[in-house]
Structure 1
Amino acid sequence: MDVLWLNQNDVRSLLNLSDAMDAVEKAFEQHGRKKVQMPPKSYLYFEAHNGDLRTMPAYLEEQDVAGVKIVNVHPDNRQKGLPTVMALFVLNSTETGAPLAVMDASYLTDIRTGAAGGIAAKHLARPDSHILGLVGSGNQARTQLVAIANVFDLEEVKVYSAHKESAEQFKQEMECKADCTIEVCSSIEEVCDCDILVTVTPVRTPIVKSKWIKPGTHINAIGADAAGKEELEASILLQSRVVVDDMAQASHSGEVNVPLSEGLITVDNICCEIGEVIAGLEPGRLNESDITIFDSTGLAIQDVATALLVYNAAKEKGMGKKLQMF
């Protein structure tokens, strides 16, 4: 039996953010309508190496396709000349269980996470949002910017990084892609003077203060994707409409995980899941002055939906390498 192998160059040439946003939005909607199977991601922690390994399986009923992603997060990898995040995805037939394709999922992860941020902003941010603030300037900041620019007419982007040279490089690379001015800020407080705020850092101590957030702001909280991580002061959550991607997963590894475990908030402070908003089952933003938060942990359904796009495009274009596995 042949299995299709797709390396990162293949995936990059086959996957675009606009299509990924459509696929992720539909996957979220199915999740909201309980048309998926998706256990919470499981973790192996390697404390001696400051890293972890995660497995993320899911099944999309409407597309009748399943798969699993194996992904690591090792913040010290940059010092070794390796990516912080590396991932592999296996797409499976539901009829036989056999693998249909094995593909690089590092780029796929960047794209599907950016897509989720763009879709969340579409449904939760004020329609007249024009100023984007980014805390962090890595790969995910780039895909978040492009995805949000696909939805909103951005006039200005503000970016802050603990490493100013990284923020300057971000400005040089992304200003033409965003088709607007990018300002490198000297503080997070400056960045928070915006309509849409995106946080994409791996911190474990909150770096965004409640007093900096204006009424009407929408926040994509992207960085907290494991137990113990948090980017926002808990008091921000208490004054906001908090929408998670998945209640069970966010509770143990999302932006809400630390405030929940410390009793600073309760599950009653969480409005709903983004899929329920997209499906029209729950309201998102109620008025112009609401502060809304999307707590993104990264769902396996996003990976399956995006990997299916890549697989179908590869078959159509005759790309990839067929490997005999059995």
Structure 2
Amino acid sequence: MQKIGVNMSGTLLLKQNEIKQLITMKEVVDAVETAFKAFAQRDVQMPPKDYLFFHEGDLRIMPCYVRSTEESGVKCVNVHPNNPQKHNLPTVMAIIELVDPETGFPLAVMDGTWVTDMRTGAAAGVATKYLARPDSEILGIIGAGKQAWTQLMALNEVMDIKKARVFCRTCSTRTDFAEKASEIYGFDVEAVDSAEAAVQNADVVVTTTPSCKPVIKAEWISPGTHINAMGADAPTKQELETRLLLNAKIVIDSWDQASHSGEINVPVSQKVLKEKDIHAKIGDVIIGKKTGREDEEITVFDSAGLAVQDVVTAGLIYRRAKEQGLGVDFDFIS
């Protein structure tokens, strides 16, 4: 990563349709791997995300500073599950501000909604690269929304997928997802009528729901399976049965965030699961400080989502935008 550098001509404003032109999922996977590595090497200042809770959803503030590359910024992101039905708005919306650490100057303000979707998908891609069996071919997907789509995008970068099965509660949604994915990726994506059918005998499983009640039972998961638990991102949310977690090798992104709002938050709050039961942070696996997969164990990656993923990805987007002349410079100060 190169240092961003200050842009005294103004603050660069970037819309989602501009950002989408600038980077690919493969590049986001690489950026997120770099982010996890920087966090493991203690190159990152990053307080845990903070929350405001509303009646219909929540708002999170996520600041980060990467010392070696002088990348710094903050993401403001909401999660409102009823938005699509009630307001025709996305469940998740975000804004990212990049800041010059030397002066505090706002380098860029960009849409963070697409970045959030992409870097969350990419996190599962990185974890699958290090924790799944190398010959993994069968993918089970729980959920069929935007996040399920970016999960598939990222996993396709690190797996030789031969078949995928998808389940969500709405028949038409999972059918549409399966048809579109089959057409784009060229392998068979099947819409199935239960979570159990989606995950049985799968090599890799990904969960992308907002559930507060486990949707995956321990007896459904075969030895050697890798699970990316991506949906739990706030207190009380849980997608995997606690018994499944207790029988798995658990890898997290950050203890502070995962224990508060990740997949492990419920069993931790119940004192069933303790920090000593966690095998590693994903960054420690990447840098070789901790082992990855061994034999036919079940592995679980608990992704609570880290600000460093957003800032490193946004930094790459900012540099590309400057190179290609995209976005609008705006003077907030005068």
* Residue in structure 1 matched with residue 4 of structure 2 by the alignment: none
Displacement of 1:62 in angstroms is 2.2
Alignment partner for residue 271 of structure 1, among 279, 282, 285? 279
Query: Residue type matched to 1:266 in 2?
Result: K
Q: Does the CA-based 8 Å contact 1:146-1:178 persist in structure 2?
A: no
Q: Which stretch shows the higher mean deviation, 66-75 or 12-21?
A: 12-21
Query: Residue type matched to 2:225 in 1?
Result: T
Alignment partner for residue 66 of structure 1, among 59, 68, 72? 72
Displacement of 1:177 in angstroms is 2.6
CA distance in structure 1 between the aligned counterparts of 2:171 and 2:143, rounded to whole angstroms: 10
Q: Does the CA-based 8 Å contact 1:156-1:180 persist in structure 2?
A: yes
CA distance in structure 2 between the aligned counterparts of 1:129 and 1:34, rounded to whole angstroms: 32
Residues 27-38 of structure 1: pairs in structure 2 closer than 5 A: 27-38=35-46
Alignment partner for residue 129 of structure 1, among 110, 121, 136? 136
CA distance in structure 2 between the aligned counterparts of 1:178 and 1:239, rounded to whole angstroms: 33
* Residue in structure 2 matched with residue 229 of structure 1 by the alignment: 237
* Residue in structure 2 matched with residue 118 of structure 1 by the alignment: 125
* Residue in structure 2 matched with residue 9 of structure 1 by the alignment: 17
Q: Does the CA-based 8 Å contact 1:89-1:103 persist in structure 2?
A: yes
Output one character per residue of 1:98-153: Cα deviation in whole Å (capped at 9) or x when no partner.
11000000011111111111010000000010000000000111111111111111
Displacement of 1:286 in angstroms is 1.6
* Residue in structure 1 matched with residue 175 of structure 2 by the alignment: 168
CA distance in structure 2 between the aligned counterparts of 1:309 and 1:174, rounded to whole angstroms: 27
Displacement of 1:178 in angstroms is 2.6
Output one character per residue of 1:244-272: Cα deviation in whole Å (capped at 9) or x when no partner.
01111101000000001012222121111
Identity of aligned residues (%): 48
CA distance in structure 1 between the aligned counterparts of 2:68 and 2:161, rounded to whole angstroms: 35
| Alignment pair present for 1:213 and 2:221 | yes
What is the TM-score when the length of structure 1 is the normalising length?
A: 0.98
Alignment partner for residue 204 of structure 1, among 212, 215, 220? 212
* Residue in structure 2 matched with residue 98 of structure 1 by the alignment: 105
CA distance in structure 2 between the aligned counterparts of 1:179 and 1:99, rounded to whole angstroms: 43
SS in 1 for 2:21: helix
Q: Does the CA-based 8 Å contact 1:145-1:178 persist in structure 2?
A: no
| Alignment pair present for 1:154 and 2:181 | no
* Residue in structure 2 matched with residue 244 of structure 1 by the alignment: 252
Give the unaligned 5+ runs of structure 1: none
CA distance in structure 2 between the aligned counterparts of 1:83 and 1:319, rounded to whole angstroms: 25
* Residue in structure 2 matched with residue 299 of structure 1 by the alignment: 306
CA distance in structure 1 between the aligned counterparts of 2:36 and 2:67, rounded to whole angstroms: 12
What is the TM-score when the length of structure 2 is the normalising length?
A: 0.95
Displacement of 1:175 in angstroms is 1.2
Q: Does the CA-based 8 Å contact 1:10-1:320 persist in structure 2?
A: yes
CA distance in structure 2 between the aligned counterparts of 1:112 and 1:150, rounded to whole angstroms: 13
Q: Does the CA-based 8 Å contact 1:69-1:303 persist in structure 2?
A: yes
Output one character per residue of 1:60-99: Cα deviation in whole Å (capped at 9) or x when no partner.
1221110000000000101211111100000011111111
Displacement of 1:225 in angstroms is 0.4
Aligned length: 323
CA distance in structure 2 between the aligned counterparts of 1:269 and 1:185, rounded to whole angstroms: 34
CA distance in structure 2 between the aligned counterparts of 1:60 and 1:324, rounded to whole angstroms: 25
* Residue in structure 1 matched with residue 3 of structure 2 by the alignment: none
Query: Residue type matched to 1:92 in 2?
Result: V
| Alignment pair present for 1:77 and 2:83 | yes
CA distance in structure 2 between the aligned counterparts of 1:247 and 1:81, rounded to whole angstroms: 35
Q: Which stretch shows the higher mean deviation, 262-271 or 50-59?
A: 262-271
CA distance in structure 1 between the aligned counterparts of 2:83 and 2:168, rounded to whole angstroms: 18
SS in 1 for 2:20: helix
| Alignment pair present for 1:24 and 2:32 | yes
* Residue in structure 1 matched with residue 96 of structure 2 by the alignment: 89
Query: Residue type matched to 1:308 in 2?
Result: G
| Alignment pair present for 1:55 and 2:54 | no
Displacement of 1:180 in angstroms is 0.6
CA distance in structure 1 between the aligned counterparts of 2:185 and 2:44, rounded to whole angstroms: 34
Runs of 4+ in 1 over 2 A off after TM superposition: 176-179
